[in-house]
Structure 1
Amino acid sequence: MIVATLTRVSRVLEMACLFIGALCLLYMVGVVGLNVLARIVFDVSDTAVNWMIPGAIEQVSYLLGIVVLAGLSASMAHGMIAVDFIVDRLPQFWKILFIRFWFLGVVAFALVLSWLLYKDMLATFSRGEASQDLRIPMYLIYGTYAVECLALAIIALREACINDGQHQELS
């Protein structure tokens, strides 16, 4: 029952990470593309016309973190890149044990990262820190990163519970 609930919750988190990652990636491509075109107009007009997006580099840099963490979470069940030169030679029992131990390591790493990002979120909130160009409150960015790391931990925990040693990328 716990594994079934964990599976349902992690599937929802996977879909949410895919959705958030896709939205942020589309926005990033749009901002970069528009800024490239605006830079061309800026250069052609001899700096008379400046249509560049304010804070574009800042937007893209913070969104890149969101996209990477969302991609990690969403790809966890679909087979991360693995070099199984040694593990594939093990008997099935040891292979499953090794893979589940690996996912438990990912859970621990994601939980520690989530905790540290949560503490950064609280610290930046209390200090009232904001980003340099757009004045985005930094606690929102750190909070988003912390939630995505927590989602990664839950999805990796599911994989640690149900993974049977078969990799989809090797099938």
Structure 2
Amino acid sequence: MMPSLERASHWLALVCRLVAGIALLALLTVTIADVGTRYLHRITDGAIALRVSGSVELVSYLMLFSLLAAMAANVEKSQVVVEAFSHGLSSNLKNRLHGVYLLGFAALGLILFIGLLDSAAAAARHGEVTQDLRLPMGPIYYLAAALSLLLGLRSLIHALLSAVFGADGEVSHGE
């Protein structure tokens, strides 16, 4: 069971890294294009008036996607160790405590998923759109909900690996 959990976590992490990378590249592209067109407008005294419409809106949603995906991709590396409390503990016990800690992230991911799923359904029902670009909010909420679910699933997988099996939480990737 443990190798199949590790394999599932590995593939989910790859998907999350891909989403985070695409969102981050898109975010940087929008930012560079916006800054570049503003600078071009300024140095030509308004002769060239190109603008990136809704750049602040695009950057905020792309940042949401990149952060959620990056958090989900790296959840097993997020251990916070307070040396004063864990100094004398065995490695096995530290791993099990880390698993309990990750259960909190699993709960957080599930709560975010449920809330965003509800928001997505309401946005789709009411035709809610973004303020500047008039993009439908439903798909934005659905993607954020899916990324939150991935955060919860990967946290749960690593909580099980750490708390139940006493593993160190790092996926070996078959190496």
Q: TM-score, normalised by structure 2?
A: 0.86
Aligned to 1:105: 104
On the 8 A contact 2:9/2:157 being kept in 1, the answer is yes
Aligned to 1:82: 80
- 1:129-148 to 2 correspondences below 5 Å: 129-148=128-147
On the 8 A contact 1:73/1:148 being kept in 2, the answer is yes
Aligned to 2:93: 94
Structure 2 residue matching 1:136: 3-state secondary structure: coil
Letter paired with 2:81: V
Aligned to 1:157: 156
Letter paired with 1:152: L
Structure 2: how far apart are the matches of 1:103 and 1:81? 8
Offset of residue 116 of structure 1: 0.5
On the 8 A contact 2:120/2:142 being kept in 1, the answer is yes
Structure 2: how far apart are the matches of 1:139 and 1:109? 21
Aligned to 1:17: 16
Aligned to 2:173: none
Structure 2: how far apart are the matches of 1:138 and 1:4? 38
Aligned to 1:8: 7
Q: Give the number of aligned pairs.
A: 166
Give the superposed CA RMSD. 1.9
Structure 2 residue matching 1:130: 3-state secondary structure: coil
The percent identity for this pair of structures is 28
- 1:25-44 to 2 correspondences below 5 Å: 25-44=24-43
On the 8 A contact 1:14/1:74 being kept in 2, the answer is yes
Q: List runs of 5+ in structure 2 lacking aligned partners.
A: 171-175
Structure 2 residue matching 1:161: 3-state secondary structure: helix
- Gap change, CA 1:17 and 1:121, over 3 Å in 2: same
Letter paired with 1:149: S
Letter paired with 2:10: R
Letter paired with 2:124: F
Q: List runs of 5+ in structure 1 lacking aligned partners.
A: none
* Mean CA deviation greater in 118-127 or 84-93: 84-93
Offset of residue 52 of structure 1: 1.7
